[in-house]
Structure formats: structure tokens, C-alpha cells
Amino acid sequence: MFEIALYEPEIAPNTGNIMRLARNNGCHLHLIEPMGFQLEEKRLRRAGLDYADFGRISLHKDYAAFLLAVAGKRIFACTTKGSQPHHKASYQAGDILLFGPETRGLPDTVLADIEPECRIRIPMQPDSRSLNLSNAVAIISYEAWRQHDFVGGK
């Protein structure tokens, strides 16, 4: 299946929603520190998670550690600066969908190491604010899964 990675997430309820989403669409979730909250916060539990869900999550001390852990996998940077719409990408099992923090998105240093064709964006109206992080993760991860006929789903 696909994997979701959150680069330095800041808002616990968003991450809790994404944890629940990953449980529902079968994605493995990577959390890249530092984060703006502790994993034990009750705001995460409010998303309806149980302890079994934490087995589908990998915690990385920083971006370099994340890159070592996922070496050899293709990474899609999900960014408003993307060169192509998310639905035009051709996703493969094992691809990683990388999202930046809520207030600033992925930094240019991260984007510079990702091929332009792997920098994707969600189409939206001009001069609009970007979507909430958990909404963006849902849209892109379900498009990737849709391209594979929702394998493993019911």
C-alpha cells in the first residue's frame, strides 16, 4: 500500500485525524520530529484511536532519519508549489506521500531534493488559502488508493 509522512506536524487534532485516516485506508504513517505536541496528548485519542493503531506508525527523530528509513522508495511532496495536480501522478504501491507542517508547508530544502514531477498539488481556486492538512492527506491518499482500485478495502 502507500505510506503517508508528516514532516514536523504542529497540530495534534490534525495528526489524530490523519492517524485514523491511515487506519482506514491501510497506509503506514511516518511522523517526523520535532512535532508541536506529544503523542500521548488526549487530543490525539479524541480522534478515536486505540493502542493497536500505534503499530502502524513510525516515529523519526528528524528528516535525515526518515530518509534513511525509507531509502529506495519514491517520495511525492504534497505542496501548493507542486508542478502537477495530484490526480495526474501515477502512484505505485510503496510510494510515500509527504506533507509539511500546517503553518508553513514543506521547506525549500526538502522540495529541492524531490524531482519536479513528484511535487504534486491539489487544484484549488486562485488566491485561496490551502486546505486543512487532514483534508489534503485524505484527498491525495484516496486518489492514490483509487488508482489501485482500493485494493485491500471492502
Binding-site sequence positions = 100, 122, 130
- Which SS3 state, helix, strand or coil, does residue 55 take? helix
- Which SS3 state, helix, strand or coil, does residue 30 take? strand
Q: How far apart are CA 31 and CA 19, in angstroms?
A: 10
Q: Return the ∠ at Cα 85 (arms to 80 and 86), rounded to 5°.
A: 95
Q: How far apart are CA 86 and CA 8, in angstroms?
A: 22
Residue 77 backbone dihedrals phi, psi, to 5 degrees: -85, 120
Residue 104: how many other CB atoms lie within 10 Å: 10
The identity of residue 93, as a single letter, is: A
What residues form the annotated binding site for S-adenosyl-L-methionine?
100, 122, 130
